[in-house]
Amino acid sequence: MKTISAGSYAIFFEEKKYKSLENYLKSDTFTTVFILVDSNTKKYCLPLFLSKIPDFLDYQIIEFPAGENFKNIDTCQFVWNQLTLLKADRKSLVFHLGGGMLTDLGGFTAATFKRGIRFVNFPTTLLGMVDASIGGKTGIDFQNLKNQIGLFANPQHLIVDFSYLKTLPKRELYSGFAEIIKYGLSYDIEFWKSLNQHIPYKEEDLKQWIYQSINIKNAIVLQDPNEKGIRKILNYGHTIGHAIESYFLESKDKKDLLHGEAVAAGLLMETYISVKLFNVKECDLNQLEKLLFSYFDKVDFSETDYPYFLQWMQHDKKNIKGEVLFTLLDRLGEAKWNIKVPDTLILEAFDYYRNLKNC
């Protein structure tokens, strides 16, 4: 697979990935190198990672607990404290070994410590590879609101090593498919067709989908790095998806929900709205149902949850002057953004999803 240029950094695959890292480490003098892990990646990914990095490298490990509940300012303070105690300076380098939660938080802590220290992303989950680690968005949750505090900061390198996917439970692996499917729905109709033609998929199919997903997101980000226009199409499925995810995070009565599971539900409901408002056909929605239910169970909620979903949507980052703005499909492969949707239609979409049966 060819290296992808992402502007100020490069995305490496296959045999080039660790050679590029070695060359980078030799190109500068780093005072200290840190490896940021969570409790899962320390156990399942770190041994493999340490066997692949250059022998000459001295490093310190910083570990924090795994899980979205720890994507907050308290964990940031812990990381900053560790960097301070270990005498990190502006010539230090941080390796981020983990999924989207870790690369989001790690990028934020690195970009703010001493006004910025350099970092390299090593995504270990499917979601991290195809979405979270690309494009320079970093951040943390605040009061269970998704990604409310953050900034744009790019890594020095992004290294995609497919072997980490073998460490994932099936549920965690499948969580990344929501973002892959989003790219086909909102941007690339041929990619959408490919995803539907390979169920069940083979390992080589997945590698190609990861590569295509990264190419798609990178192409969009290069056009609009700070999300003023076309990059907003990457929020498709996330207006409702983030609201559901935030509500489930806060509620003691709801089971844990992975990001991709919430986004998959959001994709279906926002596609339903797109059918009602634009040129998406009902048969397209039915095809999406079949594809998503190949990877996801339906999220269980009741009509009494609706007001809470609407309440969480009021805090969406895309909102302007208190108005909730959606990214929706004009037709398959073409999205439009900053769309106002009446609450009556949003509630109708909730009903549609709640009454679905797993295909």
**pLDDT value of position 341:** 98
Look up 203 and say whether it is catalytic: no
Give the length of the chain.
Answer: 359
Among 17, 96, 217, 318, the one annotated catalytic: 217
CB pairs under 8 A, 24+ apart, for 55-61?
57/25, 57/33, 58/32, 58/33, 59/33, 59/34, 59/35, 59/95, 60/32, 60/33, 60/34, 60/35, 60/86, 61/34, 61/35, 61/37
Name the stretches of the chain with pLDDT < 50. Answer: none
Q: State whether CATH 3.40.50.720 applies to domain 4-167.
A: no
Give the pLDDT confidence score for residue 359 in this predicted structure: 56
Active site residue 235: yes
Q: Is 356 helix (H, G, I), strand (E, B) or coil?
A: coil
Active-site residue flag, 276: no
**Would you call 231 a catalytic residue per the annotation?**
yes
Catalytic residue at 227? Answer: yes
Q: Please tell me the CATH superfamily of domain 170-354, with its number.
A: Dehydroquinate synthase-like - alpha domain (1.20.1090.10)
Catalytic residue among 231, 232, 298, 336: 231
pLDDT at 55: 86
pLDDT at 256: 87
Rounded to two decimals, the pTM is: 0.95
CATH 3.40.50.1970 range(s) for the chain read 4-167
Look at residue 14 in the predicted model and tell me its pLDDT. 78
Query: Does 42 participate in catalysis according to the annotation?
Result: no
Q: What is the pLDDT of residues 299-356, one digit of tens each?
A: 999 999 999 999 999 999 999 999 999 999 999 999 999 999 999 999 999 999 999 9
Per the residue annotation, which of 42, 137, 182, 318 is the catalytic one?
A: 137
Structure tokens, 30: 């780093």
Q: Which of 155, 57, 169, 53 is nearest to 102 (CA)?
A: 155
The CATH 1.20.1090.10 domain(s) of the chain lie at 170-354
pLDDT for position 144: 87
Choice among 259, 298, 318, 336 that is catalytic: 259
Give yes or no: 179 in active site: yes
Is 96 known to be catalytic? no
Residue of 179, 245, 261, 270 marked catalytic: 179
Is position 358 annotated as part of the catalytic site? no
Query: Is 238 a catalytic site residue?
Result: yes
Give the 3-state secondary structure of 182-225.
HHHHHCCHHHHHHHHHCCCCCHHHHHHHHHHHHHHHHHHHHHCC
